[in-house]
Amino acid sequence: MHKIALLLLMATVCLGVQTRLPTFRVDVPLVSLDVSVTDATGRPLTSLSQDDFLIFEDEQEKEIKNFSSIETPYNILALFDCTGSTREAWPFLFKSLNAFLATLRPQDRVSVQAFGRGTTTMLDWTSRTAEPLSFQLRTPSPLCDQTDFYGAVVTAAKRMQNIDGQRKGVIVLTDGVQGSIPSRVVRVGGTTLPRFVDASEDPGFVTARAVVESSGAVFYFIAVNTDLNPSNVDAPDLFPGTQYTPLSLFNLQEIRSRMEQFAWASGGRVVFSQRITDTGMLFDDIVRQLGTSYSMSFTPAAEVDGKFHRVEVRVRGGRGMQVHQSRDGYYAR
């Protein structure tokens, strides 16, 4: 009888404890970055280990949660905007991608997707091969009639979240145009005009940027037809009246800003391609990065304060060494 009472008491205590347990967030995203180290002569150091590195957030040392050496496989997703503004660049882009694949290491993998109103996989994950990639998208295609740029970025980021391993990159060829960027009506010289809102006031973009930040993948953009490299901009719905006006340039700047923020949030960058050959230059840069950089991540400060937090990576006993980081901080949001 005493045993039964004791068991009941223990069960009651356990149930009471369970009902009083606090709830914690378990999905705190990690801050990831790629790091390369060179010696005093500029020669890359490629045999360092996790114990050689220290990470500081606002001068406070943080624990390295994940670390990937240079030999760790790299997963690269190539994402192509199949709408009309980028189609002329496709032949050279595919040629460049094949050349890029030939330089990868046997352990690296690549996948290819096209996007418009949705996404479609043209090549699923494959390792380096001596044979050129073989894929095609039939055009015209209903997929390419409209552009859900944010949706494609989110789909890519979520796909990369499900890839084992930390070394992940996404290469996006696009003009960055989203089919539904919110506008605000303004009056200029007595004329009423719709003007794109700032990125911070665009709910779809803010949501997509948060997914990119937490994906652990580095996003590179090959940007075409922006205000910095306009070529065949001809979209009367997007730029009413004429191709180049103060309004159209303002809207183009807002579009570019969104690509730059995606890249910055992930530790990547944007190439504003003036010539088709600029695409190959980006691939060359990524190849060099694969062969000389380490990937690492840490848990950021728990407080979401919207402020910029500086990140610095140091090497133990690193006198004369130069540390090159893919990002120097993050915004806690």
Residue keyed to tokens 């295609």: 141
What is this structure's pTM? 0.78
Say which DSSP state 66 is in: E
What's the pLDDT score for residue 130? 62
The full set of domains in the chain, from first to last, is 29-69+293-331 (no CATH), 75-289 (3.40.50.410)
What's the pLDDT score for residue 21? 33
Q: Any idea of the CA torsion for 246, 182, 224, 104, to the nearest 10 degrees?
A: 150
For the segment 16-27, what is each residue's pLDDT rounded down to a tens digit?
333 333 322 334
Stretches in the chain below the pLDDT threshold 50 = 1-27, 232-242
What's the pLDDT score for residue 137? 67
Closest Cα partner for 81 from 127, 109, 112, 110? Answer: 112
Q: How many CB atoms lie within 10 A of CB 62?
A: 17
For the segment 203-233, what is each residue's pLDDT rounded down to a tens digit?
999 999 999 988 888 999 988 888 887 764 4
What's the pLDDT score for residue 14? 35
Residue keyed to tokens 């068991």: 7
Task: Tell me the DSSP string of 198-257.
Answer: PGGG-HHHHHHHHHHHHH--EEEEEE-SSSSS-SS---TTTS-SSSSSHHHHHHHHHHHH
Of how many residues is the chain composed?
333
* 87 close to 328: Cβ distance less than 8 angstroms: no
What's the pLDDT score for residue 162? 83
What's the pLDDT score for residue 259? 96
Cα 30 from Cα 301, distance rounded (Å):
10
What's the pLDDT score for residue 140? 67
What's the pLDDT score for residue 236? 45
From residue 280, give the alpha-carbon distance in Å to each of 94, 95, 97, 283, 284. Answer: 10, 9, 8, 5, 6
Cα 72 from Cα 107, distance rounded (Å):
8
What's the pLDDT score for residue 219? 93
Q: E strands along 59-180, which residues?
A: 60-62, 66-68, 75-81, 109-115, 119-127, 168-174
What's the pLDDT score for residue 35? 92
